[in-house]
Amino acid sequence: KKLLALARAGFVDEARTVSSLSTAARNDPWTGQAEAIADLLSGDIASACRRNANLSSGRDDLFWVKLRVLCYAQAGETDAADLTYGILRDQGALNDSDAAFLTAALTETTPKTPPATRSSLHYAIAQDLGLPLSPGLLDDADAGVLVAVARNAAVDTATRIVAAERSIAMGVMAPTELASIFQSAEFDLAEIGAAPVAAIERAVDPLTDALLYHSIGEMAAPEFLRDKAQRIAMALSLANSFHRAYALSLLYADEIAALEGAIVTPDEASRFALARMAVGD
């Protein structure tokens, strides 16, 4: 079960390493489920389905039954997929997202209303069918899904930023990965120069965090220390959620520590104090 928790939290490589050292049988349902989750988060539906087919026990666990609907659909076994889906529906075992994603897998059509992506199964289906991912669809996502979205270069940058900030707040991703996502966002010099104005106008836009990060990075010279402090405080002030505030506190931890002794306003000082408390200082 610890291995399963590791996989669900998005530590895919670590889960596979631990699984390879396990003394459990190759068809053990717990180990197999952790490996199947790792497969789904990596987009390898075929491998997850092979693990499902090789089970000799635990086949009635809801994870495996839901996965079988997808596997039957992928194999073109429509009748078996419909039957399994019907049993799950009649048992009340499907939430709204399960129903929407599995129906999409069965019919190979896009739902009229994009469903919330919560589990590794949902994420794998979304990737397979090219279904949309957006910040609003990740509110109830497992940590592993958030990590997978944050690391997926094919997903739009704003969604990756939100996923990364949530992952950092959960303790399953390092702030350096958020920095890499910020660096991958492209802005021209005029946008970077006008970052403070844009930040006020688009305070809730995740890309604003990336824009301010670029503008702060341009202030490397000592004479920009005062402006840099002001810009970091602005970036922190935009945080309208716990995960955003915590992730940015960790991201700018070294820069804030380097401001020790600099003259700042009371408002800026309060921002920095909160950020330092967030990292345990």
pTM of the predicted model as reported, rounded to 2 decimal places = 0.92
Predicted confidence (pLDDT) at residue 231 exceeds the cutoff of 90: yes
Predicted confidence (pLDDT) at residue 276 exceeds the cutoff of 90: yes
Confidence band, pLDDT 50/70/90 cuts, at residue 57? confident
**Averaged confidence pLDDT in the chain:** 94
Predicted confidence (pLDDT) at residue 203 exceeds the cutoff of 80: yes
Chain position carrying tokens 């402006």: 227
229/169 Cα distance (integer angstroms) = 23
Closest C-alpha among 182, 227, 178, 169 to residue 208: 182
- Residue 218: the pLDDT is 92
- Residue 1: the pLDDT is 82
Confidence band, pLDDT 50/70/90 cuts, at residue 55? confident
98/104 Cα distance (integer angstroms) = 10
Q: pLDDT digits over 7-35, tens only?
A: 999 998 898 888 888 777 667 778 889 99
- Residue 121: the pLDDT is 98
Q: In which element (H, E) is residue 244 found?
A: helix 242-251
Confidence band, pLDDT 50/70/90 cuts, at residue 56? confident
- Name which residue leads in pLDDT, 254 or 260: 254
Predicted confidence (pLDDT) at residue 201 exceeds the cutoff of 90: yes
Share of the chain above pLDDT 90, in %: 82
- Residue 22: the pLDDT is 77
Q: In which element (H, E) is residue 151 found?
A: helix 143-151
